Chains A and B, each alone.
Chain A
Amino acid sequence: MKRKRSTGALFVLPALVLLAVFVFIPLIGVLGLSLTDFGVYSLADSANLHVIGAANYWHLLRDREAWQALETTLVVVVVGVPATLFLSLVSALMIESIAERWRGMFRTALFVPVVCSTVAIAISWRYLLNTRFGLVNHLLALLGLGAPDWLGSPHLAILAITIVVVWKGFGYGMIIVSAARKEIPDELYDAARIEGAGVHQRLLRITVPMLAPTLGLLALLDVSGYWQLFAEPYVLTQGGPLGSTTSLLLLMYERGFRWWRWGAASAIAVALTAVMWLFAWVQRHTRAGWRGE
């Protein structure tokens, strides 16, 4: 027994070492860095490195760009996650309702964006959303609607980013929901039908509650994914126009890897981690409430 346990530990060891080297140690390092003013000048001469306590965080609290980035990221999370879940659920259920032989095709079509490179997708969308020559505005014109400046107007740009993110993400949830849906025993539906439950009642009383744990898991994954929004605005808008699509991660990237203010950038990373933890905590507790129902 003892032998087995040590063999097991040995198997886990490589993963633990990798985690320690690439996750835990850097995490502690970032926390430490966020309390300093580490930058190019400190690299030149360590006499220029100071522990400045919470000053980076204090600056962050009074930094309009940081608040704007928080707001931007929050909008994508708050609008994007429910939209993704809704589309995942609806598309999964719709695909089940169509003829068997077409299912594979539709499922593949909706899943393709998930596996495509984000950069390629962002570039394609940049063409689709072009004000003058883009397909989106062309279709809007056919409907007699105006030609909005998708990536040039601050309010629309963040909406456009959210649309792209949701469009890329919902296919994954659809696959998971489809799988979970198959796990619901048919007897439940049969029983409900015999009791006289209609389509809507079956959906709301059986399908949705039975899928709740799955949807909860998806929500958790989407929330943590969307908080780390980076590639879409980086490629589509570079954070503009007027900073309206600069996410927290993009702001951190700019400060850390373009302007070499590692101390300040680390503070953003830690703050983002804290916010995500807070969200996960709230989510866990509301999910616990769900389950208790």
Chain B
Amino acid sequence: MRSAFDRARALAALGAAMLACAGCTHAPCGLTVWAIGSEADALERMVPGFEASHPGSSVCVQELAWSSAQARLLSAVAAGDPPDVAQVGDTDIAMLVTLHALRPERHIADDFFPGALQVTRFDGVSYGVPWYVDTRLLFYRPDILRRAGFDRPARTWNGWLKQMRAVRRILGPGQYALLAPTNEYEFLEVLALQEPAPMLRDGDRYSNFTSTSFQRALSFYKSLYQGHLAPRVDDRQLVNLWWEMARGDFVFYVSGPWNIGEFRRFLPPRDEDLWMTAPMPGPDGPGVSIIGGSDFVVFRASHRVRLAREFIRYMLADEQQVRLYELTGDLPARRGVWRLPPLSTDIKLQAFRSQLERVRPFEAIPEWDEIMDGMRRMAARVAAGDATVRGATARFDRTVDGWLAKRREFLARSRFPAAMPPRGDSLGAKAR
């Protein structure tokens, strides 16, 4: 009995020693930065430059996956152990702000795209620094469009529809005028944002998907699939969409800036003229698009705020913004950087440059991703002919109202009148 007890105690002591030592192998990190996917790789390559210009500093970059980044950040905040700085997708900021996890940001530069800045702002206070931006627009086949009798993509929905119908006539079987994968919500989000009425109303307290605005956008969306202008496929069903696009299987493709790099990676240089970019058409003229991208945030729990801000400032300098573009294809969040090559010289980037000036920010609330995902599923039913525009939006309205119940209660409890999460009490004082 006794010997067994002693053995157990020895084991326990050994275990405790191992636990205690788990922390002792780490190299000391002056600054811990969490970044996501390829941006983490790029950041790691740029860190030596920062360390060299800030003697004595050491930065540890930890890589998260896009699919789990939000969960990791949330658990870190819940456990009270977040990093100093993190890259956060800009639809995820609202959640962290709701949790009082972030420090208000200071002024870093004058020339951010206004849309990118706006989605980091809550109750007039900015909680993130835009790092790179993202939007959606048209990739298209100029040669096929010319054969159909048009020298450039239309600027209005009607003109675009006419072009797609004309193009459809000269395409073969199994070829389509448009590729807009049904597993992405962004295309419909763009269409909805182009309409005047917002998707949520009363300070984002209630759903507004039964508005005539949204119904018009959804009807247009539906007509593209029902009229066989676009196939109802999700992009995982495509083997190599760049190759398929070069073959002429699709003439228009609504997508984002990373595809510039992907087209060049998958197609030989001689095919460079087979694809081009153009801003989104709108209901009655050049249309708005969405704003996306990532921001740098500094956590309230961080004790290294000064170094964190210097780090962010360094990464937003011209040189690093261009470097980030070269490493990842991410578009600079600062307009000034666009005057520098290769951003100023790449002809395919110019549509992005002008589209980024014409964006309409999403509603920055924690539920936005869920609402957009629900909208995508609802729209897929409508596009498949399983539900009518009127019926589906009415039902979806009730669903979203249910999702927002907790938010309404939260806003009613807080003293803040607007659709903004309240700030922590000591926050303002600490931020000085």
Contact = CB atoms under 8 A, between A and B. Distances in A.
Partners in one complex: yes
Contacts of B233: 152
Interface in A29-52: 37, 39-41, 43-45, 47-48
Contact of B237 (A7, A48, A131, A258): A131
Interface in A96-140: 126-127, 130-133
Given A10-B8, A48-B406, A258-B370, A242 B377 contact: yes
Interface stretch (B95-103, B141-149, B209-217, B314-322): B95-103
Interface string B66-95: 000001001000100000000000000001
A242 B383 CA distance: 10
Contact of A241 (B234, B366, B409): B234
A279 interface: no
Instruction: Label chain B's interface by main secondary structure.
Output: helix
Tier of interface size on chain A: 20 to 34
Q: Top 6 closest A-B pairs, CB basis?
A: A259-B370, A41-B410, A44-B99, A44-B98, A41-B406, A7-B4
Instruction: Label chain A's interface by main secondary structure.
Output: loop
Interface in A1-51: 3, 6-7, 10, 37, 39-41, 43-45, 47-48
29 contacts: A6-B1, A7-B1, A39-B406, A40-B74, A40-B366, A41-B98, A41-B366, A43-B99, A44-B98, A44-B410, A45-B410, A48-B406, A48-B409, A48-B410, A131-B237, A132-B239, A152-B237, A237-B236, A238-B183, A241-B232, A241-B380, A242-B386, A243-B377, A258-B369, A258-B370, A258-B373, A259-B367, A259-B369, A260-B95
A238 B236 CA distance: 10
A151 interface: yes
A127 B239 contact: yes
A132 B241 CA distance: 13
B124 interface: no
A258 B236 CA distance: 20
B385 to A, nearest CB: 11
A67 interface: no
Contacts of A132: 174, 239
Contact of B406 (A37, A47, A258): A37
Contacts of B367: 259
Interface in A72-118: none
Interface in B397-425: 406-407, 409-410, 413, 421
Contacts of B232: 152, 241
B29 interface: no
B381 interface: yes
Contacts of A48: 406, 409-410, 413
B149 to A, nearest CB: 29
B347 interface: no
Contacts of B1: 3, 6-7
Contacts of B8: 10
A246 B99 CA distance: 30
Given A6-B1, A44-B98, A242 B407 contact: no
Interface in A250-278: 257-260
A240 interface: yes
Given A132-B239, A151-B236, 5 more contacts: A44-B98, A45-B410, A240-B234, A242-B377, A258-B369
Given A3-B1, A259-B370, A260-B95, A242 B237 contact: no
Contact of B381 (A133, A151, A242, A257): A242
B134 to A, nearest CB: 20
A250 B386 CA distance: 23
Contacts of A37: 406
B125 interface: no
Contacts of A258: 369-370, 373
Contacts of B182: 240-241
B4 A240 contact: no
B197 interface: no
A259 B71 CA distance: 10
B384 interface: yes
B366 A151 contact: no
A43 B78 contact: yes
Contact of B4 (A6, A39, A242): A6
A43 to B, nearest CB: 6
B246 to A, nearest CB: 15
A237 B239 CA distance: 14
B380 A242 contact: yes
Nearest to B249: A132
Contact of B413 (A7, A47, A152, A238): A47
A131 B232 CA distance: 12
A279 to B, nearest CB: 29
Contacts of A41: 98, 366, 406-407, 409-410
A47 B384 CA distance: 43
Contacts of B407: 41
Nearest to A246: B377
A2 to B, nearest CB: 8
